[in-house]
Structure 1
Amino acid sequence: MSIDRRTVLMTPLLLTTGAAQAAQPQKPQEGQQAWTISLPDGLPAVRCWLYMPPGSTKPGKTWPLAIFLHGSGERGENLDAVKVHGPPKHIANGRHYPFIVCSPQLEAGARWDPRRLHAMLQVLLKQLPADADRVYATGLSLGGHGVWDWAAAFPNDLAAIAPVCGFGNPAAACNARQVPARAYHGDADTVVPIAQQQATVNALKACGGTVEFIIYPGEGHGSWNPAYEDPALVPWLMAQKRR
């Protein structure tokens, strides 16, 4: 089943690949900035928004790191598109988070590859004052699917996940049983029906995983709106540490 969705991108083209590379500062600065992550083993470089919370550039302290994976509508060359939904949108609107946030962008037509995400994380842990025991992954739609796949393929990467209106592979869910999950979905979603994510949640529970499934009655595919406004989400993430 295709999980592509149509998204109206409200912001103009800001950065091309070359511009994002040129915009990268030598060292991360506080706030949200365009960033390019070079990967090993011939993997394509990753363009992203990197958010450093207040005080995070001072030496002597490590910070939790959250990775946000966008949906299918935000793929392409326009890095501003990544700020249409989720944490990078809220950061652009003035919200502060108590953790570093990396919001990478997929190329047009691409899907989230756990191997590439694993490699990206290893580079980030070397470049940033990030705590390897407090790495969180969240994402919506195609990004929620990517979060489930990443947790199943590399469970030791993550302290917790928060997939929104996505779905995983129930047959592989037990690989992620050590990773606590807080999943979200609207029960009126016709793009990614709730039954798909429910199957992954059920499989994870059956093998002893820790998972909470928050369901929004009457909500369609836009369940990321209430999910990223959930006042319990950030405290829940901050309470998790890699097992």
Structure 2
Amino acid sequence: MRALLNIVMITMFLNTSTTFSQDDHTDLESLPKDSGGIHKANALGVTDAVYGHYIYTPSGYSKDSPKYPLLVFLHGSGERGNSKKSPDKLKKVIIHGPPKLIENKTWSPKYPMIVASPQLPSGNWKPEDIHDFITYLISNYHINTKRIYVTGLSLGGYGSFNYISKYSSSSYAAAIVPVAGGGDVNSGDKFTKVPVWAFHGDSDKVVPQKQSIDMITAINQANPNTKAKLTIYPDIGHDSWTKTYNAKGMGSESKSYDAFDMNIYDWMFMFKKQ
């Protein structure tokens, strides 16, 4: 019966759309301040999740607390590993992005978030597996399903774009932030209800900036509800993510593209499913 109820609730959720709600932070203001939570490693096979993963729960999190926003971070190709065979390989996930900030105790978004950082055993990020992973998280954690955000770097940037290309507004994501990635330029119309802010370095030789430029152009040509943004860093190579996730890139971006005028987490909080 409980499983059936979960399916009905998730189906109802998937039929909603993303809206701009800059002034509606009531659900966030009620969350207790995060004084440092728990960052737990779950090797592949330890849970029912399709991926081994790190999961961060803020200090005030409990089953009785208000529901928390969820940030899903998708790593790059160098962080792949099979933690079922070698549990220590899961540590590769925490060398970049939000999980690195958490481990370094420099994670301090304006509002607390649950952060899930899955690990690919091999291959590429598959939209269906990302979707199943988030379904698992919703079933096992106290998550505000109106506020689920997806970000990723390099291979994970592709994964972020591809997740929306597959599921469009039926995805769980209220907004996405792909960094140093790219996607299917023929799927621009899939992003009309999902806000996007992409980042890239103009000297990236691994994934040329054209990948992000072409993707954002395709999305905006489809007249999305919220114009897709693109921030480019001059004279920066493939690692455009460090200064994006820690916000130290603000002010160093190209004036020819969108300004890096607020941290990406505050930008995410501007959007939620209705």
Alignment TM class, shorter chain as reference: 0.7 to 0.9
Tell me how far apart the structure 2 counterparts of residues 233 and 81 of structure 1 sit (CA, whole Å).
Answer: 23
- Among 84, 109, 124, the residue aligned to 2:95: 84
The Cα RMSD (Å) is 1.5
Gaps of 5+ in 2: 1-35, 83-88, 248-261
Matched, 1:125 2:142: no
Aligned to 2:272: 241
Tell me how far apart the structure 1 counterparts of residues 181 and 53 of structure 2 sit (CA, whole Å).
Answer: 21
Aligned to 1:74: 79
Aligned to 1:217: 234
Residue type matched to 1:237 in 2?
M
Residue type matched to 1:50 in 2?
I
Structure with greater contact order relative to length (CA < 8 Å, sep ≥ 6): 2
Q: What secondary structure sits across from 2:148 in the alignment?
A: strand
Written as runs of structure 1 = structure 2, the 5 A alignment for 1:1-243 is 30-35=37-42, 36-39=46-49, 45-57=50-62, 59-77=64-82, 78-96=89-107, 97=109, 98-108=112-122, 110-155=123-168, 156=170, 157-209=172-224, 210-230=227-247, 231-242=262-273
Residue type matched to 2:271 in 1?
Q
Tell me how far apart the structure 2 counterparts of residues 189 and 37 of structure 1 sit (CA, whole Å).
Answer: 37
User: 1:173 Cα deviation (Å)?
Assistant: 2.3
TM-score (norm 1): 0.82
Q: Are the equivalent residues in 1 in contact too, given 2:151–2:157 (CA < 8 A)?
A: yes
Residue type matched to 1:229 in 2?
N
CA displacement 1:182-238 (0-9 Å, x = unmatched): 110000101000001111100000011221101101110000011112252111111
CA displacement 1:14-70 (0-9 Å, x = unmatched): xxxxxxxxxxxxxxx94110124425xxxxx31000001120225141011000000
Q: What secondary structure sits across from 2:72 in the alignment?
A: strand
Gaps of 5+ in 1: 1-28, 40-44
Aligned to 2:21: none
Q: What secondary structure sits across from 2:64 in the alignment?
A: coil
Moved more, 138-147 or 152-161: 152-161
Moved over 3 A (4+): none
